[in-house]
């Protein structure tokens, strides 16, 4: 019958790698032989959870477990994959002798840490001008009690009694080729070749602890949605107090009620009365940084026309210069007219040479061109 590796560690079947490691560390602190000297039941439990962790952290072995098999069962589905972590090198070692190409020495207790990812949101104004943002992160940091050594009293690690310091142990499994010797990490020392007699009570011998920290990040002007900022050595501290990984802050930009961003360019819609579009005018626009921009509406500006303001867009993060601001003109035609306005527009229509008609490509004068000509008389 296949063993319940998930149940051994007390995790769900969809548990992540981090959740599996966390569950193992919690149980390892309880059943470690160094914490329970002479307790055979605790030692057996420790070996059991060590094997469970090894299986569930191996994608191939975990797949067999999820299919209802046991990758370590000599008679089950794991028989063919019984090459084990030693791989083909162990098979050649079995047939031709020698230490085997798959063998290696013990792993260093000091391991590099993993990178960490954090997401934060900024307004379009903050993305335009740049901003300093305070963020809170939960990562593994160096244990301030043992300073990464993992020992409660500063004592040195001792050679593992399970593997004799090799970091690996060998086992024989039966396969269609016969007996196959496999090599895998020692479950007692997890491949380090040594154990800590008196683990630090604060970190359990890991050399690191989880801690919440407040950091300040500099978000540069012009940053785009989805870009990541790298903060060197601000990620997870490694096992045994190893060097920390990097922290990546992924920045997302919130939508704006006036402006719309397209790369390094900005777009805004301005509403212009029909008469101002015909005769020309200017208007003031408050930019994202609070500065006021003057937009000139040339006489005869057409609906949908875009007025370009060079170097008024976003700062280019990876190159020189800035983008362009495009002001799209929305000509407002009145839907309700008072008597005076109607009378004036009637006069304009009377002096117009043409009324409504189907547009043709050979027309050289626009409607507004004709209106301006009448007003010049």
CB 268 within 8 A of CB 327: yes
Q: Does the annotation list 332 as a binding residue?
A: no
Paired tokens of 210: 């989880």
CB 341 within 8 A of CB 333: no
Q: Does the annotation list 146 as a binding residue?
A: yes
Burial class (CB within 10 angstroms; exposed 0-12, middle 13-18, buried 19+) of 3: middle
Residue 187: CB atoms within 10 A of its CB come to 19
d(CA 291, CA 113): 45
Q: Does the annotation list 200 as a binding residue?
A: yes
CB 211 within 8 A of CB 141: yes
Q: Does the annotation list 186 as a binding residue?
A: yes
Distance from CA of residue 324 to its chain's centroid? 30
Q: Which of 93, 72, 120 is nearest to 225 (CA)?
A: 120
d(CA 347, CA 285): 34
Q: Does the annotation list 291 as a binding residue?
A: no
Tokens 């360019």 correspond to: 265
Q: Which of 251, 267, 247 is nearest to 259 (CA)?
A: 267
Q: Does the annotation list 12 as a binding residue?
A: no
Q: Which of 219, 236, 61 is nearest to 142 (CA)?
A: 236
Residue ranges at the known binding site: 143, 146, 160, 163, 186, 189, 200, 203
Residue ranges at the known binding site for Zn(2+): 143, 146, 160, 163, 186, 189, 200, 203
């Amino acid at each position: 019958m296949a063993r319940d590796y998930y149940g051994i560690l007390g995790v769900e079947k969809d548990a992540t790698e981090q959740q599996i490691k966390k569950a193992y560390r919690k149980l390892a602190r309880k059943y470690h032989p160094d914490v329970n000297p002479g307790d055979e039941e605790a030692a057996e439990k420790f070996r059991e959870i060590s094997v469970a962790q090894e299986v569930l952290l191996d994608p191939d072995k975990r797949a067999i477990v999820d299919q209802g098999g046991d990758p370590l069962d000599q008679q089950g589905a794991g028989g063919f994959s019984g090459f084990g972590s030693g791989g083909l090198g162990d098979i050649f070692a079995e047939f031709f002798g020698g230490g085997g190409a798959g063998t290696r020495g013990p792993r260093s207790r000091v391991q590099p840490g993993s990178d960490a990812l954090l997401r934060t949101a900024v307004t379009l104004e903050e993305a335009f001008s740049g901003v300093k943002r305070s963020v809170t992160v939960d990562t593994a940091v160096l244990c301030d009690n043992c300073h990464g050594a993992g020992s409660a009293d500063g004592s040195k690690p001792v050679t593992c009694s399970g593997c004799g310091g090799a970091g690996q142990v060998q086992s024989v499994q039966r396969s269609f080729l016969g007996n196959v010797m496999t090599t895998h990490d020692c479950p007692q020392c997890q491949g380090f070749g040594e154990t800590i007699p008196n683990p630090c009570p604060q970190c359990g011998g890991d050399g690191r602890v989880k801690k919440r920290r407040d950091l300040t990040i500099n978000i540069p002007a012009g940053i785009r949605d989805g870009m990541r900022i790298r903060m060197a050595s601000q990620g997870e501290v490694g096992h045994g107090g190893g060097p920390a990984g990097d922290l990546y802050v992924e920045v997302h930009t919130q939508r704006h009620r006036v402006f719309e961003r397209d790369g390094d360019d900005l777009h805004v819609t301005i509403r212009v009365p029909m008469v101002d579009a015909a005769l020309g005018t200017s208007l003031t626009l408050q930019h994202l940084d609070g500065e006021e921009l003057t937009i000139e509406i040339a006489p005869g500006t057409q609906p949908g026309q875009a007025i370009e303001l060079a170097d008024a867009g976003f700062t280019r993060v990876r190159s020189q210069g800035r983008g362009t601001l495009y002001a799209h003109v929305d000509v407002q035609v009145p839907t309700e007219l008072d008597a005076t306005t109607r009378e004036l527009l009637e006069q304009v229509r009377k002096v117009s040479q043409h009324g409504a008609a189907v547009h043709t490509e050979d027309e050289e004068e626009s409607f507004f061109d004709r209106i301006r000509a009448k007003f010049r008389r």
